[in-house]
Amino acid sequence: MFIAAIALIGVVAAGPARGAADGRLASALPVLVGQHEAGAHAHATLNLPIAPTTAPRLPHVLFVLGESLRADDYAALVASGHVRFPGEFPDRITLDDHRTPSSYTAIAVWSALTGATPFGKDSDALGRVATLFDVAKAVRDRNGGPLAITYASAQRRDVLERPNTLAGVTTFSVDDLVGHAVDDEDDVIDLGVDQRLAEKVVSLMDSPGTQTTFTVVHLSGTHAPYYVDPSQVPFQPWSHTVSWNGLPALRNAYRNAIVAQDAALLRMLTAFRRRVGNDPWVVLFTADHGEAFGEHSAIHHGQNLRIEQGHVPAFVAGGNGALSPDMLAALTRYAGQRTTHFDWLPTLAALLGVRGTLPLASVEPGFAGRSLVDPARPLGALAIGNCSASFKCPLDNWGAMDEDHIAYALPWDGDYACLAQQRSRSDRRTVEEIPAADNASCTHLRALANGTFGHQPGKK
């Protein structure tokens, strides 16, 4: 019975992982639409006060959000030369222990775009949280001009908790890329949606304009079933078939998909550099969550937050004076520490020169993360999980993490497992997780998880 249950979550994982966005949208929309119908449009569209930058020169921003990229596979592909995008930034600061608070796309993306924890909030509260688009829309450059903001996505538009956050943002979604409404991205992955997205981004970057650009690129092709470019298949044999004894071939398809995605990213980067010229720029890179290939009885993602699903690649790079010596020093200190998706929006606010300014006074108290370009602050303890008020997960699974521990439980666990992070000696990268001897951290994390979610998974 135990084996059967484990096998089931592995098999069903691909479905709910995408269904997450739909499930969340279904519960988020009535809040927003209902208010709109009642005439309370101000609640549905969150407009922050105008926020003049304090940065000497506003940088162009390119924030790349990958899909299902596990840190170890991505690092290996960079090291072997199969993936070239990070290597385009020799001075990048790699965040070696970057963790997602969720391995469901919608919750992970929402966390990265809002900097706020979704756990323990009702769906009404989730619908009122500002996103990085709301912040970017408020920013003004030294001449009072707004940013040219783009959300270039190969995913469904409704992956965002708050659809109205995209009002006034140039937006491409998977629907625009394939020319019709898409119910499930998995159905169109074999069309090469990241490659189509690259064409859109290149064309936009090359169109005339003098505004500072703020571009979020949200990729999709490395989600199961994994887009493979038939002309570029270094990893053999590969297969799209999901089976417990075919995992090596499935993982080769995944690796080939990362290689295909890299080519699309390089095209976008070349266009970004043409657009930027000699202006300051920053590039930020991460992925929503990782991917399991049989580890801890799971395939794909969404079943737990063990290292293969929770540890994702991340780096920050800048040029033409965008990163001051103090910012670089701060980033370097964070490089060997645990960072999370909650850190992205505070970091972007700092890079845009609006962190700590009055127009953000209503937003910043909600940040669960830290600006990685300001003096280091401790991570503290954070709830993590795959269930939120607006996404009813098929199987309860949640916990909490701090700098060196993760406590996590599945419905059939007697208690939260508490895991210690083993770091490599040379660069402090997390290399594995081992059961921790019971300690004060574990006790605190268990209590935080129970307090946030109301009870231990399966123990209501």
Question: CA 263 to CA 310: how far, in whole Å?
Answer: 25
Listed ranges 145-153, 172-180, 286-294, 389-397: which one lies at the site for Zn ion (CB under 5 A):
286-294
**Residue number with CB closer to Zn ion (67 or 97):** 67
Applying CB under 5 A, the span of 134-142, 232-240, 285-293, 338-346 interacting with Zn ion comes to 285-293
In the complex with Zn ion, the residue whose CB is nearer, 66 or 192, is 66
CB 263 within 8 A of CB 229: yes
Taking alpha carbons only, the member of 396, 460, 412 closest to residue 4 is 412
Among residues 58, 48, 209, 49, the alpha carbon closest in space to that of 143 is found at 58
Q: Among 101-109, 116-124, 209-217, 410-418, which window interacts with Zn ion (CB under 5 A)?
A: 101-109
Q: Which is nearer to Zn ion, 15 or 146 (CB)?
A: 15
Residue whose CB is less far from Zn ion, 67 or 364: 67
In the three-class reduction of DSSP (H, G, I as helix; E, B as strand; rest coil), residue 260 is classed as helix
Structure tokens at 351: 């890079």
Neighbours of 215 (CB within 10 A): 24
- What is the smallest separation between the CB atom of 187 and Zn ion, expressed in angstroms? 16
Residue 64's φ and ψ, nearest 5 degrees, are -105, 120
Nearest to 19 by CA among 410, 222, 300, 313: 300
By the 8 A CB rule, do 31 and 321 touch? no
Q: Residue from 161, 262, 288, 404 that binds Zn ion (CB under 5 A)?
A: 288
Least spacing, CB of residue 222 vs Zn ion, in Å: 9
CB of 85 to Zn ion, least distance (A): 18
Judged by CB under 5 A, the number of residues near Zn ion is 3
Site for Zn ion in 61-80 (CB under 5 A): 67
Q: To the nearest whole angstrom, how small is the minimum distance from the Cβ of residue 118 to Zn ion?
A: 15
Name the minimum Å distance from CB 453 to Zn ion: 21
Candidate list 53, 102, 105, 450; residue touching Zn ion; CB under 5 A = 105
- Nearest-approach distance from CB 105 to Zn ion, in angstroms: 3
Which among 355, 383, 360 is positioned nearest to 371, based on CA atoms? 355
Question: Given the complex with Zn ion, which of 35 and 105 has the nearer CB atom?
Answer: 105
Residue 67 beta carbon to Zn ion: minimum distance, rounded to whole angstroms: 5
Q: Chain centroid to CA 261: how far?
A: 16
- Tokens representing 230 are 């038939």
- Residue 195's alpha-carbon distances to 215, 221, 256, 259, 267, in angstroms, are 17, 9, 14, 12, 9
DSSP conformation class of 169: S
Does 153 help bind Zn ion (rule: CB under 5 A)? Answer: no
Could you list the residues that contact Zn ion (CB under 5 A)?
A: 67, 105, 288
